[in-house]
Structure 1
Amino acid sequence: MEQTLGVVTETDGGYQLAFERTFKHPPAKVWRALTDPGELRNWFPAVVDFDVTVGAKLTFAPTDKQRAKFGLTDADAAQGELIAADPPKLLEYTWGEDRLRWQLHDTADGGCRLEFTQTCPERDSAIVQGAGWHVGFEQIEALLDGTTPAYDPFERATELAATYVQAHTP
């Protein structure tokens, strides 16, 4: 399924990357993909155990693939904090300097509409991360559908990065 690109806009003090995705699965199932460590392992760009208690401290460690491909170590882990949680409708947290918000809405057909925003201090970071999240949403869809994407996610994100840069360059 071809998905629309995320949109980067300037905000007070930073940039916001925004996506909207519709899944044929209910919010509770999508919520598990966003918070369950076993499901996150299949698509999320870090190792994190979500404590969905507001104020909980979070650690975003490199995945095994990132360790092998980029030589990342535990020293590359980032810290964050859970800002808001209303299972299975809202998840918001910080990841380093960024703020991520996942909002899930029921759809009339029993599925779910996801609104995702990431607020970053730098425009270039928001643009490049757009490619990564784009691939992440493709992987979530495959996970929920019980399929496996036929591509390497790092290669796919690299390919999409040029598209994101071109789409967001004035």
Structure 2
Amino acid sequence: MSEASSSSRSGWEDPSVPAGRIEKLSDGWALAFDKQFDYPAAHIWDVLTNPRKVEQWMGSVTPDWELGKEYTVEMGGGSVSGTVLQLTPRSSLQITWDDELGEESVLEWQVLESDGGALLQFRSRTDTADFLAEGSAGWQGILLAFAAVAAGTPPPGMEQPAQWRALRDAYSKEFDVSPTMGFLEETPGDTTLVFERWYDAPAEDITAAVESSGGNLRLGEGADFSVEETDGVGKLRIRQRIDGGNPQDTAALMAAWHLALDSAAVRLLGETPHPNSHRLRALEALYSASA
């Protein structure tokens, strides 16, 4: 690898260390990455917008980015869609990002001339902290692939689930945001479902809210609950052994738990949750794909 290629990726080699930052805004949250490259801004813009190169670091875009037009990105067996809000050649690209769960965020890339090369700034803005830790870990991997394509080297392979969770947990701890997704902990002959959620509430209130929400979805039998309370924040951990090996049944159980924990958050705010079957099916598809 050349000296320029090496320096363009410095600081991103450790997959367990956050390279971005999570910021609380007055109207939501933002994920921010700033990456200095030793290449001309025109080259970085080409990697950002050339469909053949975008396919290498993110996914297949249909059609090309075009101001005011809708697009679809096929990535990793799933797809997202949105609209191009801003497109200033060699300068900035802003799009809406609508995922399969119906969550919408606004993504913005800016390419600035800097220190004889180019500074790439990436911002993702969203209304809630749902999936924020997971999204941070995911975007770090995508931007690492971007850096590899910019350097003319093969993008890194897909991270192992344990590596991705370690990075997600690092973002959660450093920026005080709750994990959202559950995962499977597998040992020889045994599979355990694990969820971790953080709530701004006392431990006894969290336990009651989760038991109520889980009971409505007929969950909880055989599950172990623990809540660690620190400075008014209760960190819930659920573990439940999975009997049998039907992946679809496992995905359905994880989706039901995910929805129950979302409902518990609503209960803790003193409101009445209204889970819907569309979101449950979307969560089931998400967990099925991630498995």
Matched residue, 2:171: 164
Q: Deviations over 1:114-145 (max 9, x none)?
A: 11100012214222211111122221111111
Instruction: Check 1:59–1:151 CA distance in 2 against 1; reply closer, same or farther (3 A cut).
Output: closer
Q: 1:89 aligns with which of 91, 110, 132?
A: 91
> Structure 1: which 5+ residue stretches go unaligned?
none
Residue identity opposite 2:30 in structure 1: Q
Q: Report if aligned partners of 1:102, 1:114 keep a CA contact under 8 Å in 2.
A: yes
Residues 51, 167 of structure 1: alpha-carbon distance in 2 compared, 3 angstrom cutoff: same
Q: How does 1:1-170 map to 2 (within 5 A)?
A: 1-3=10-12, 5-44=19-58, 46-49=59-62, 51-61=64-74, 63=75, 66-67=76-77, 72=78, 77-96=79-98, 97-109=104-116, 111-149=117-155, 151-153=157-159, 155=161, 156-169=163-176
* CA–CA distance in structure 1, aligned partners of residues 96 and 159 of structure 2: 24
Q: Deviations over 1:95-124 (max 9, x none)?
A: 111100101101232x10011100012214
Work out whether residues 19 and 115 of structure 1, in 8 Å CA contact, stay in contact via their aligned partners in 2. yes
Distance 1:49 1:106 in 2: 29
Q: Distance in 2 between matches of 1:157 and 1:9?
A: 21
Greater Rg over alpha carbons, structure: 2
How far apart are the structure 2 equivalents of 1:133 and 1:50?
22
Aligned partner letter, 1:164: Y
Partner AA of 1:2 in structure 2: G
Aligned residue type for 1:32: D
Query: How has the CA–CA distance of structure 1 residues 157 and 33 changed in structure 2, closer, same or farther, with 3 Å as cutoff?
Result: farther
Deviation at 1:33, TM superposition (A): 1.4
Q: Tell me which moved more, 81-90 or 143-152.
A: 143-152
Cα RMSD, aligned residues only: 2.1
- Which stretch of structure 1 is more off in the superposition, 152-161 or 33-42? 152-161
Contact 2:51 2:64 in 1 (8 A): no
Identity over aligned pairs, percent? 25
**CA positional deviation for 1:12:** 3.4
Calculate the TM-score normalised by the size of structure 1: 0.81
